[in-house]
Amino acid sequence: MNTTQTQKGEQLISIQINVVKDDYEPQVKKELNKLQHKAQVPGFRPGMVPFGMIKKMYGAQVTIEVLNTLVSETLNNYILENKLDLIGYPLSDPDHQQPVDFDTQDSLDFFFEAALRPEIKVDYSKAKVDFAHIIADDAAIDKTIEEIVERNPNITHPETVGENDVLELKVREAEDGKELEDGFQKDFVVLDLKEIKTKTNKKKLVGKTTGDEFIINLATILGGKEKAAKILGNDAPADSDYNIIIDDIRHEEKPELNEEFFKKIFPNKEIKDLDAFRANVKEEMEKQYTNETDRILFTKMIDALVDNTPFKLPDSFLKRWIHENNQGKLTLEDIDKNYEENYSKGLRWQLIEDSIVKDNPDLAITDDEVKGFLRSQIFPGIDYDNMEDDMKARLDKIVDNYLQNEEQINNVKNQIADVKMTNFLKTKMKIKYTDQTYDDFIKSLEKETKKTSKKK
């Protein structure tokens, strides 16, 4: 067996694999012998079918299978041994491949066309991007502080129900003033009196005390079966009467903006006054804005790099490669029509990205990064490094279970790769930032999206 390579163009090569009968016939005979021992043919005992009959029945099929395996392994080994840096995988060479007939030919030639990766030099200085630095203005900061205050009330547990308190209840379905023995029951139901809109219905609860037990129709006091179902659950008969036991009363009050509150929101910082608190809220808001918009910035950086990193692609080969990888789901005409818009840009970025990662090994994704990312997603906020060894082992076991799913691993790797590449490019490329409020940024983004849609 002999393998040779010839140049077809600047980025295309042809690989010829010559196979003679001595290369594949012994394996064909071996496979046919296996079939002979297993074959069940009417008129013959198992394993006693003549070899000539087996060869006549299965010879062509087995020969094709053996040749496919042999040629595929030879091609793979040739690529590895010669360290060929290819785009995609070789395809049958339409310019050289001729029909083969192993019944009449002693020597068979298989030709493959392969695309060499171009040499890519990324000049970050040429790829410039205009983008927004989203600032938190006073109005946005005020609104965020209001939301923080609302989410962090001072909570007390009075004995008597007030007009705007939150009740924790046990409920038991009732009928004719008595609990139903086999009726619906739930031991934890939260009822916010602010949800009760009429004073008359609210009075049925105000003044009750912890431990009080009484029968009431929740749908009636809340103003509808849908609202009752929301707190009871969809499996509950929402329009029924219920015997209610008050387990706890929570009274919430708006907290003062003082040092105690500042410490609650930012436990690791020493904040003495409202101005410092506002400054920290502003900083956190702008960090969040950056996290939210980095994906958009990443897309713009990709566009700039693709537009400013010129190199040739073997487009005809790549169109065929896309067609074969889609297993005929797309026609060559469809691919040709949408090649520039839907395929070429993505292929170019993939090659540029591979080149950047090759020159910057720190951008490669490690197993520890994958595990760390999964830990942060499954157990947000945990301090893994300071945990006891037995707890770490338990968490690692849970993470390892997730890692059994290859699709999950690839998804995680893609997310990490995008974040690492975004941060890397932000340090390398020229990005001109313009201050914008979040609302103005959203408006400009919508305007840009509409403009792009019209062009399409």
pLDDT value at residue 36: 87
Q: Which residues pair with 424 in a beta bridge?
A: none
Question: Does the residue 291 lie in any domain?
Answer: yes
Q: Under a CB-based contact definition with an 8 Å cutoff, are residues 406 and 106 in contact?
A: no
Check which CATH number belongs to the domain holding 175 and give it.
3.10.50.40
Between CA 203 and CA 189 the distance in angstroms is 19
Give the CATH number for residue 66.
3.30.70.1050
Q: Is the domain of 64 the same as that of 93?
A: yes
Report pLDDT for 284.
96
Residue 76, token pair as written in the block: 């793979």
Say what the pLDDT of residue 384 is.
84
Domain of 28 in residue numbering reads as: 2-116
Nearest to 188 by CA among 237, 248, 251, 235: 248
Task: Provide the b/e sequence for 132-150 (b: ≥16 CB within 10 Å).
Answer: bebbbbeebbeebbeebee
Same domain for 279 and 385, yes or no, is yes
Tell me how many domains the chain contains. Answer: 3
Predicted confidence at residue 258, as pLDDT, reads 95
Q: Does any domain span residue 14?
A: yes
pLDDT at residue 453, as a whole number? 67
d(CA 206, CA 160): 8
Residue 215 pairs in a beta bridge with: 243
- Alpha-helical segments (H) within 187-273: 199-203, 218-222, 225-232, 259-265
Q: Output the tens digit of pLDDT for each of the chain's 456 residues.
A: 899 999 998 899 999 999 999 999 999 999 999 888 888 788 887 778 888 898 898 899 999 999 999 999 999 999 999 999 999 999 999 999 998 888 888 899 999 999 999 999 999 999 999 999 999 999 999 999 999 999 999 999 999 999 999 999 999 999 999 999 999 999 999 999 999 989 999 999 999 999 999 999 999 999 999 999 999 998 899 999 999 999 999 999 999 999 999 999 999 899 999 999 999 999 999 999 999 999 999 999 999 999 999 999 999 999 999 998 887 788 889 899 989 888 999 999 999 999 999 999 999 999 999 998 888 888 887 888 888 888 888 888 988 888 888 888 999 999 999 999 999 999 999 999 999 999 999 999 988 888 776 665
- Please report the pLDDT score of residue 123 as a whole number: 94
Contact 31, 62 (CB under 8 A): yes
If you count DSSP H runs as helices and E runs as strands, how many of each does the chain have, helices first?
15, 12
Residues 80 and 226 occupy one common structural domain? no
